[in-house]
């Protein structure tokens, strides 16, 4: 348990949490929506601090990050709980369970960083459940990871506040993947967030702070797969993140409480084509068996620069200066590309 970094005393024993956009206001003894923040005698504490639900060494591409140290590996970890209630959550066994200090395993930041070094990984990645609701733990882990030369990344629903984002950046957050759940109606009906543009604005702020950003649009059957919703997401991606920011269009599969059939492949391909026509230079399709949509191509001459399969980099044609060897176009990639050297653990 650790005192929350971002909290505001509202008087009469009430505390407002400043970690995510929900801004839970809690009386003494109350716990926030995510289950990790609790008002204890007029102070807000993260009661899930260091309670880790999973640790794995994974390729960076599986996050997915395609333009951030391609071919590298990250020690990926998660906690418990979430501030969203997506009925199709693939990791519901983690996200829909609240932290329990009497049952969950506590792993100090130094031990987590030590695991990354033992694995021989290049960095750290907070993922699986919503990582930013563990703000205090991430700040400590990322700060220590930087001291040992590790990069720091997060896979997020983008619901953190501007203050939380700045705290993570100061601690050493290098890259964030933001999941765009759909259009306004999707968020209202399934997530309980009235204005998703607040999330997109946080992603834009991340870019302004020098954090590498990529976005994911999971197209879910009968939830956000209408032509109007797809167009909305693509247009907002361009407005807030620009045409150079990679967009991953992923296929949904039934999970948890949502049993609609998997996303139609043709719908995914049409969304891909629309995003390219609208000017997004780097568009990918994930969670399908066709690997052609995983490769990075030069937007100027069309040459394939990075070949991928099964969420790994198998061939790098691009030079260490991240320029296309055919036409000289510079590709926005952080770090240099290398071919994956080991099997997924």
Let me know: does 18 contact 136? Beta carbons within 8 Å.
Answer: no
Chain mean position to CA 106: 23
Q: Is the pLDDT of residue 127 over 70?
A: yes
Higher-pLDDT residue of 194, 167: 167
76 inside domain: yes
* pLDDT, position 33: 96
- Predicted TM-score (pTM) of the model is 0.96
How many other β-carbons are positioned within 10 Å of the β-carbon of residue 246?
A: 25
Residue 151 and residue 31 share a domain: no
* pLDDT, position 343: 52
Q: Is the pLDDT of residue 322 over 60?
A: yes
114 inside domain: yes
Higher-pLDDT residue of 345, 237: 237
Cross-strand partners of 176: 154, 213
Q: Provide the domain count of the chain.
A: 2
Residue 58 and residue 40 share a domain: no
In degrees rounded to 5, what are phi and psi of residue 167? -60, -40
Residue 203 and residue 93 share a domain: yes
Q: CATH number, domain at 115?
A: 3.20.20.70
The angle formed by the CA atoms of residues 221, 222 and 226, to the nearest 5 degrees, is: 95
Residue-by-residue DSSP string for 165-232: HHHHHHHT--EEEEEE--SHHHIIIII--S-THHHHHHHHHHHHTT-EEEEEEEE-TTTS-SHHHHHH
Residue 155 and residue 115 share a domain: yes
Report, as an integer, the average pLDDT of 244-267: 97
* pLDDT, position 340: 81
Residue 338 Cα distances to 42, 305, 309, 313, 329, angstroms: 51, 12, 14, 7, 19
Quote the tokens at residue 58.
Answer: 């994974």
Strand order in the sheet with 304-309: 296-297, 304-309, 312-316
Strands (E), 89-133: 123-126
- Cα–Cα distance, 182 to 196 (Å, whole number): 8
At which residue do the structure tokens 């997506």 appear? 86
Residue 252 and residue 290 share a domain: yes
* pLDDT, position 102: 84
198 closest CA partner among 164, 247, 171: 164
Let me know: does 123 contact 116? Beta carbons within 8 Å.
Answer: yes
331 inside domain: no
Parent domain of 34: 2-46
333 inside domain: no
Q: Is 79 exposed, middle or buried (0-12, 13-18, 19+ CB in 10 A)?
A: buried
Quote the tokens at residue 53.
Answer: 């639900």
Report, as an integer, the average pLDDT of 78-88: 96
Residue 171 and residue 24 share a domain: no
Let me know: does 79 contact 133? Beta carbons within 8 Å.
Answer: yes
Chain mean pLDDT for the chain: 95
């Amino acid at each position: 348990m650790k005192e929350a970094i971002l909290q505001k005393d509202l008087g009469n024993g009430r505390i407002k949490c400043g970690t995510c956009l929900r801004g839970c206001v809690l009386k003494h003894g109350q716990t926030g929506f995510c289950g990790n923040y609790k008002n204890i005698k007029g102070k807000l504490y993260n009661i899930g601090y260091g309670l880790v639900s999973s640790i794995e060494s994974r390729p960076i591409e599986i996050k997915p990050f395609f333009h951030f140290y391609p071919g590298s590996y990250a020690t990926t970890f998660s906690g418990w709980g979430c501030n969203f209630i997506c009925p199709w959550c693939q990791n519901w066994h983690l996200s829909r369970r609240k932290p329990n200090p009497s049952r969950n395993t506590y792993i100090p930041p130094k031990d987590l960083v030590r695991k990354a070094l033992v694995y021989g990984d290049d960095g750290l990645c907070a993922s699986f459940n919503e990582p930013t609701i563990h703000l205090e733990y991430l700040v400590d882990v990322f700060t220590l990871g930087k001291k040992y030369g590790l990069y720091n990344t997060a896979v997020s629903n983008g619901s953190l506040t501007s203050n939380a984002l700045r705290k993570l950046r100061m601690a050493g957050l290098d890259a964030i993947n933001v999941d765009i759940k759909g259009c306004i109606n999707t968020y209202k009906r399934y997530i309980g967030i009235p204005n998703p543009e607040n999330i997109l604005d946080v992603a834009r702020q991340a870019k302004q702070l020098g954090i590498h950003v990529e976005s994911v649009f999971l197209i879910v059957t009968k939830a956000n797969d209408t032509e109007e919703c797809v167009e909305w997401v693509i247009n907002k991606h361009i407005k807030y993140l620009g045409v150079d920011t990679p967009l991953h269009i992923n296929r949904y599969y039934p999970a948890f409480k949502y049993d609609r059939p998997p996303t139609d492949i043709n719908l995914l391909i049409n969304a891909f084509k629309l995003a390219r026509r609208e000017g997004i230079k780097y568009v990918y399709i994930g969670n399908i068996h066709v690997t052609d949509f995983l490769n990075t191509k030069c937007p100027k001459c069309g040459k394939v620069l990075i070949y991928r399969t099964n969420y790994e980099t198998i061939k790098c044609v691009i030079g260490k200066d991240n320029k296309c060897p055919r036409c000289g176009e510079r590709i926005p990639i952080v770090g240099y590309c290398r071919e994956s050297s080991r099997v997924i653990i």
